Structure 1
Amino acid sequence: MQIELLDTFLDLVETRSFHRTADRLNVTQSTVSARVQTLEAAVGARLFTRSRAGTDLTTEGQRFETHARMLRRDWNEAKRAVAPAGEATATMRLGIQNDLADAYIGDLLSDFRKMFSQMAFYIEPDYSAQMCADVVAGVQDFAVLFTPKPHPDLHFVSLADLPYRLISSDAETRAEINLKTYISGHFSPAFEQAHRAALPELVGAPLAVGQSSTIASLLLAMGGSGFVMAEKAAEMVATGRFKYIADVEPIDQPVFAAMHLRQRVSKPHRKLTRMLARRLMRVGPASTPATAAETPEPAEPQL
């Protein structure tokens, strides 16, 4: 199978530019054109129209797009199905938000292996947009992320809301926070929106970071103020070097499971989703440890 033909087609669907697709795939523009011509000859239809305004899908190209995504996904799944996995019966490839990996990867992997003792796991920390793309392409089977990226082939389930707490080495109240030593957490668009609404005076800090663990490291090294995950905040406050900002409420970060639409009813995916919801709800803002029988089915988000 000439999978590069499908990759080129799907990249062109996204970029609508032969030049940009050539740059992204690290090939020449003539190679992109040749691949499109080969694919059009194979399917017996013209897939793109080109003009000065850009590149657009034909009606036939629009019809082919869904099939192209399925073909690429099936090809990736087929390659992984025959790849060596030792004594394991199957391999589950998981993506996980960087912040969650830093805080929970050990506990989560322990839970995974107890639940699926005959399965091999490959886990890759990453950011939400890339994980969504990897699940669509069949590179990953399941992802735990902060920001769902709507796509017709993706299914999302809301798992929990994780609290972030504002701590400081040199302030005890909101009014005492020094913007120059404040580290702004850019964990997700949802978090940034909630932060902007709750603390508008702290928007535009000179230092912004996308990971809780990095903010914690910077605070330990330099001092200052910043939001970190609640469990890490408690550890840092316990050292005596930091205090909670008493008049600032925690900001909750929603967490979602992502999977391909075809796998939303798969038994392993449903079991993983329920297990993750139970684990993450234990550290949520208003949760207590729950048994499987007490935990409600995770909800699908309104996107």
Structure 2
Amino acid sequence: MDTENLRSFLEVAEHGSFTVAASRLNLAQSTVSARIRGLEEQLGRRLFVRDRDGVTLTPAGRQFLPHAASITRTWEQSRQDIAVPDGYETLLRFTAPAYLWERITSPWVEWMRARRPNVALRLEGSFPDQAIDQLSEGLLDICILYLPRPHPGIVYETLAVDQVVLVQHAAQTKPWTENYMLMDWGLEFRIEHDRAFAGMVKPAISAGLVFIGLQHVLSQHAAAYLPLSAVSGHLERGEMRRIADAPVFQRPIYLAYPANPASSDVLDVALTGLRRLASDWTDDHGFSEGDRSLGMDGRI
């Protein structure tokens, strides 16, 4: 069974549209339709019904859906497992927010190369929800993220606590409220933010990624709440300034990793390096070592 046919099936099932599936797969709609027909011929069952509201799964399609997802995940994991470069014993896959590269990721790569030179490293980029799914499916080994999602078999551990501060571009002369981007750091932050700025009109622009907020402040001469660890260099260079007397919020940074890893020795070395790097990140950058009592299997 062609896994590309399965991918097309999963996309159509998720979006209820051959057109959307073709766009996401960067294929012609006729190609997606041909793949679905081929899959239906192999299975001897119709998988979709087309009606005015779009495309819906038949009973056979609904039965086949979890099998298709499982086969596709297994295939992807198999590809990852055999992708270890020649001369290395195993592969460790890691993802973290891009702005932590200088403080965490790059020094951690040096740590691993010095202590486990026989381990190949793959640095991934993904959104938090995708990263958790990839961890659970064995496609990632370690993830650093802000908003953990409880999942069986995954351990969450507080790596550190970052300060989130209100900054504005140094060239912004008007009040910061006139060009303010609201950063969505989760429900707890939104509640605290609304309490602190009860009379504020809801900003027209919002975002949930540090990179987007940082680039917006720099390019649009705007203001936003951003992690101090992400803006400390810009503050030191005079590109940004902190808003005096603005509340400072605390934002935990979490490590996530499998409860039962395939190679526990390699994972232990990798986690030890990340913990030491976080511990060495001094308080003058707004980064303090967190309470590590939350390392519970699938619970926060």
Output the TM-score relative to the length of structure 2: 0.71
Deviations 1:2-21 (A, max 9, x none): 11011111112211111211
Aligned residues: 289
Q: CA deviation at 1:23?
A: 1.8
Structure 1 residues 169 and 257: CA distance shift in structure 2, 3 A: closer
The match for 2:83 is 83
Using CA pairs below 8 Å that are at least 6 residues apart, which structure has the higher relative contact order? Answer: 2
CA separation of 1:289/1:255 partners in 2, compared to 1, >3 Å: closer, same or farther? closer
Do the aligned residues in 2 keep the contact of 1:179 with 1:202 (CA within 8 Å)? no
Given that 2:158 and 2:294 are in contact with CA atoms closer than 8 Å, whether structure 1 keeps it comes out as: no
Q: Which residue of 2 aligns with 1:249?
A: 247
1:215 aligns with 2:220: no
Secondary structure class of the residue paired with 1:87 = coil
In structure 1, what is the Cα distance between the partners aligned to 2:214 and 2:92? 31
CA contact 1:215–1:228 (8 Å) conserved in 2: yes
Q: Is the 8 A contact 2:99 2:230 kept in 1?
A: no
Corresponding residue of 1:54: 54
Matches for 1:92-171 after TM superposition, within 5 Å? 92-101=92-101, 103-113=103-113, 116-128=116-128, 131=131, 140-148=140-148, 155=154, 157-160=156-159, 161-167=161-167
Q: Is the contact made by 1:159 and 1:299 (CA closer than 8 Å) also made in structure 2?
A: no
Change (3 A) 1:20 1:239: closer
Report the alpha carbon displacement of residue 249 of structure 1 after superposing the two structures with TM: 2.7
Give the Å deviation of 1:205.
Answer: 6.5
Decide whether aligned partners of structure 1 residues 275 and 29 sit closer, same or farther in structure 2, where only a CA change above 3 A counts: same
Alignment of 1:179-218 (within 5 A): 179-180=177-178, 182=180, 184=181, 186=183, 188-190=185-187, 193=190, 194-199=192-197, 201=200, 203-204=202-203, 210-211=209-210, 215=214
Q: What amino acid sits opposite 1:186 in the alignment?
A: M
Q: Residue 30 of structure 1 aligns with which residue? A: 30
Q: Which runs of 5+ in 2 are unaligned?
A: none
Match of 2:64 in 1: 64
Alignment partner of 1:109: what SS?
A: helix
Report the more deviating stretch, 85-94 or 129-138: 129-138
Q: State the match for 1:265 in structure 2.
A: 260
Confirm or deny: 8 A CA contact 2:77 2:138 kept in the other structure.
yes
Cα distance between partner residues in 1 of 2:47 and 2:183: 40
- Identify the residue that residue 173 of structure 1 maps to in structure 2: none
Using the alignment, how far apart are the partners of 1:246 and 1:5 within structure 2? 57
Shift of 1:125: 3.6
Identical aligned pairs, as a percentage? 22
Amino acid at match of 1:120: A
- Aligned letter for 2:75? W
